[in-house]
Structure 1
Amino acid sequence: MTELIHWFDLLGVMVFAISGTLIAHSKHMDGFGVVVLATVTGIGGGTLRDIILDVPVFWLHDTSYFIAIFGAIFISILFLNRQKQIPKQMLQVADAFGLAFFAVMGVQKALNIGMPDTTAIIMGVLTGCFGGVIRDVLAREIPLLLKGELYAITCIVGGVIYTQLINFSMPLEIAMLSAMSATLLLRLLAMRYNIVLHIFKYPD
């Protein structure tokens, strides 16, 4: 099971690194800019989570995360150099997959060290969202977390589903896949149907 969690973690890093590379391409960054943006997107949220939880930062002694990041960069560069442009919605779809993977992995890590459910869900939100926040700030964009369709709320929903399934003694694999699927589906639906959480009345 530890091996499965590690592979999910690597997959989340790769997907977020791809989204960072797509942003770097859209901003016409050089090679170093691509590496920086892909890296902070891939590991930024998990790094912040581990610092807050006061546990060893997950990538310090495991080079597989950087192999995953550079693999994602290489694949993205090949695709973008062949296509010459980013298909519409590709960035947000890649980001949605990364959000789903990392939100659940963040909850899982917090639960593993004995955190209560509420704290674990918050750690899931941090893990899922803040790599993208750092990416958008460096790219001089308003972070997706702060605008548009449901974002952090999808992480909360996924975290609640995951913790409750675990509390009902559901097998870990089923709990993880169910929570990831729910997070991804909710984010994609929010993008497709422009579902937002308005609290102010804005002029049309």
Structure 2
Amino acid sequence: MNSAVLYDALGWLDLFGIAVFAISGALVAARNGQTLITFAFFALVTGVGGGTVRDLLIGAPVFWVQDSRVPILCLAIALIVWITPVRIWRPAAVDWFDAIGLAAYSVFGAAKAMQLGIDPVPAAIMGIITASVGGVIRDLVAGEPSIIIRPELYVTAGALSAFAFVGLVQTGMTGIAAALIAFVAGFALRALAIVKGLSLPSYRGAEDSE
């Protein structure tokens, strides 16, 4: 696999994932009636949080510090959400934008780790971290229950995208084809979780011991 070519080919997923996560962050600020400055903060930390942790873990330069387009994009999105009528943004919009970002960023995070020579399994885990940490920070700062401990599938959908992408690339599939399949798979699973409330069995050990 030519990892440099693969990473370049998937570069569009980076800004796409950042954008939709930034929207979800700004919408949380809107839901809580915050100021424009808080909108910008939520958009930024949600958009770059996971990628920042990924870069620190794999020893790469922190991406948004090196590319001014990223913070500008997040700030612009915060302003757009701020000035648009509230009726445009339905209450469930946060979940749906987050689902899109989850699938896209899981793929891109894994691709970047592979481009830097990380082995397949750790690379997939980097994809999961890229996709989930921003939402965790957003919910923590907002004082809301973390999205990763809600009963419906979340991290599992990100894991499906990340591991599917890595697995397909390892079989020799081209980067774009693998990315599309992995993105659709992860988004579809998260969408079903939102609509149908799909979840994995939870731990019952505490109940059994009573």
For normalisation by structure 2, the TM-score amounts to: 0.90
Tell me the SS of whatever aligns to 2:63: coil
1:147-166 mapped onto 2 (5 Å cutoff): 147-166=150-169
Pair 1:50 & 2:55 matched: yes
Count of aligned pairs between the two proteins: 201
Q: Does 1:8 align with 2:9?
A: no
- 2:79 match: 74
1:1-204 mapped onto 2 (5 Å cutoff): 2-79=7-84, 82-84=85-87, 86-200=89-203
Give RMSD over aligned pairs. Answer: 1.8
Once the two structures are aligned, what percentage of the paired residues are identical?
33
Offset at residue 5 of structure 1 (A): 2.6
The verdict on how the C-alpha distance between 1:26 and 1:83 changes in structure 2, with shifts beyond 3 A counting, is closer
How far 1:55 moved relative to its partner?
1.0
Inter-partner Cα distance in structure 1 for 2:47 and 2:9 = 18
Q: Which amino acid aligns with 2:113?
A: A
The alpha carbon displacement at 1:84 in A equals: 4.7
Unpaired runs of 5+ residues, structure 2, are none
Using the TM superposition, give the Cα deviation of residue 189 of structure 1 relative to its aligned residue in structure 2, in angstroms.
0.8
3-state DSSP of counterpart to 1:59: helix
Aligned AA (1:167): Q
What are the Cα deviations for residues 148-187 of structure 1, in whole angstroms up to 9, with x where unaligned?
A: 2101111111112111110111111101111111111110
C-alpha displacement of 1:3: 4.9
Checking the alignment, whether the CA contact within 8 Å between 1:15 and 1:72 is kept in structure 2 is no
